[in-house]
């Protein structure tokens, strides 16, 4: 039997071992593994809806996703700087305008298509716990999250503290069948979580509204108008985050939007968004009514104060008139030389004051 193939394999193994040993002697070291920037929250490659082990550098992950069947990469960024976004844009083939939009925050919810890349912008919202409402209380913390979708990648860029996406990633990873739909499954998961957060914040705001409403219509009203205005401003900011998302969500339901397999999931998100919009709009209208009611109460209170001031002024004017007349000291003034004239004048003043007081009291001015 010919033994040359075995000897050849043995010789190749010996030569490879010799090269490794020689490399160690000469001081050669393996290529260092690249690490992601601090702005990268997470980066993973998904194949057929399942996450590959490890957290590779985003460039390596994208290279693996481009050559893998049914694979894509999900890169999560939080408040990235210009240098990081420029490098990410160069790696994933993003144009300059897309990178600039992803760098800035405060965008209005929208859906834009830049060639093969789809940009989805959503506003984040989080409820800020507070013991009592003041004229400077922060009730709702808002930010934004941008989702960049390509054929083999999904990039989420989040600005602000609200709207963390770690739980979103964990939830969608537990549903590999849904995640197998590709990058648009990430867009659905982000949209669903944002809408759920709107409904959660709306529940907290409703409790604040109930407390304000009770305080405004209580007998011992202590709520200041500035407190109501502050809550009104916070609700208006919340409204600007929720209501403008309706048009982009309807755009995603068009035939050229997400894959057909995800259509019913986006329909469900649109239904929940409609409920959030109705609740936020109702809260805004209710706050407007509360403000108007409080202003009407202030007008009534000011009117009551003015009537009390007028009543006391009339009582004081009577005393002043009587004292002024008897202080003229004319020679032929009635009762001027009367022994009890001083006491009589004081009695007259007291009787007039008592009569006017009872009259104003009966009419509700005092």
Write the pLDDT tens digit of every residue in 201-230. 998 888 888 888 777 777 666 667 777 788
pLDDT of residue 225: 73
Order of strands, edge to edge, in the sheet holding 110-114? 50-51, 40-47, 71-78, 153-159, 140-149, 117-127, 110-114
pLDDT at 4 over 90: no
pLDDT band of residue 185 (cuts 50, 70, 90) is very high
Top-confidence residue, 86 or 54: 86
For range 144-173, the mean pLDDT: 88
Q: How many whole angstroms separate alpha carbon 251 and alpha carbon 34?
A: 39
Q: Rounded to whole angstroms, what are the CA distances from 9 to 16, 20, 108, 153, 230?
A: 11, 17, 65, 42, 80
pLDDT of residue 3: 45
For range 39-50, the mean pLDDT: 90
Query: How many residues does the structure list for the chain?
Result: 366
Q: Are 172 and 179 in contact (CB under 8 A)?
A: yes
Q: If DSSP codes are grouped into helix, strand and coil, which group holds residue 85?
A: helix
Q: If DSSP codes are grouped into helix, strand and coil, which group holds residue 117?
A: strand
- Across 29-65, b (16+ Cβ under 10 Å) vs e yields eeeeeeebeebbbbbbbbbebebbeeebbbbbbbebb
Top-confidence residue, 30 or 42: 42
Number of separate helices (H) and strands (E) present in the chain: 11, 7
pLDDT tens for each residue of 65-113: 888 788 999 999 998 889 999 999 999 988 888 888 888 877 889 998 8
Q: Are 146 and 157 in contact (CB under 8 A)?
A: yes
Nearest Cα to Cα of residue 212 among 203, 221, 199: 221
- Domains of the chain as residue ranges with CATH: 40-299 (3.30.460.20), 300-363 (1.20.58.340)
Residues contacting 265, CB < 8 A, separation 6+: 178, 188, 192
Q: How many whole angstroms separate alpha carbon 194 and alpha carbon 192?
A: 6
Residues contacting 272, CB < 8 A, separation 6+: 192, 195, 196, 199
Q: How many whole angstroms separate alpha carbon 122 and alpha carbon 242?
A: 9
pLDDT of residue 27: 38
Side-chain-side CA neighbours of residue 192 (13 Å): 17
């Amino acid at each position: 039997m010919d033994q040359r193939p075995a000897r050849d394999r043995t010789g190749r193994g010996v030569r490879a071992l010799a090269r490794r040993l020689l490399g160690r002697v000469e001081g050669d070291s393996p290529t260092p593994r690249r690490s992601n920037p601090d702005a990268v929250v997470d980066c993973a490659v998904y194949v057929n809806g399942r996450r590959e082990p490890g957290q590779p550098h985003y460039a390596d992950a994208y290279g693996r996703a481009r050559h893998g069947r049914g694979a894509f990469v999900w890169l999560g960024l939080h408040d990235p700087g210009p240098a990081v976004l420029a490098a990410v844009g160069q790696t994933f083939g993003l144009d300059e305008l897309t990178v600039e939009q992803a760098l800035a925050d405060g965008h209005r919810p929208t859906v834009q298509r830049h060639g093969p890349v789809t940009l989805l912008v959503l506003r984040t919202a989080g409820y800020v716990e507070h013991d009592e409402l003041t004229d400077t209380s922060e009730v709702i913390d808002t930010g934004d999250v941008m989702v960049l979708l390509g054929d083999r990648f999904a990039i989420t860029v989040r600005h602000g503290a609200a709207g963390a996406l770690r739980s979103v990633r964990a939830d969608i990873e537990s549903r590999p069948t849904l995640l197998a739909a590709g990058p648009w499954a990430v867009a659905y998961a982000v949209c669903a979580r944002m809408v759920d957060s709107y409904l959660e914040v709306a529940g907290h705001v409703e409790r604040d509204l109930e407390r304000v409403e009770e305080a405004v219509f209580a007998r011992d009203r202590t709520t200041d108008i500035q407190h109501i205005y502050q809550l009104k401003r916070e609700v208006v900011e919340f409204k600007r985050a929720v209501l403008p998302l309706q048009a982009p969500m309807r755009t995603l339901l068009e035939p050229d939007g997400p894959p057909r397999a995800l259509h019913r999931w986006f329909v469900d998100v649109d239904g929940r968004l409609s409920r959030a919009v109705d609740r936020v709009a109702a809260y805004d209208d209710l706050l407007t009514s509360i403000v108007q009611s409080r202003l009407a109460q202030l007008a009534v209170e000011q009117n009551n104060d003015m009537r009390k001031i007028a009543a006391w002024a009339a009582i004081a004017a009577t005393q002043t008139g009587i004292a002024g007349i008897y202080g003229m000291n004319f020679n032929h003034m009635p009762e001027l030389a009367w022994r009890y004239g001083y006491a009589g004048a004081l009695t007259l003043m007291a009787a007039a004051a008592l009569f006017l007081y009872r009259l104003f009291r009966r009419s509700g001015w005092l």
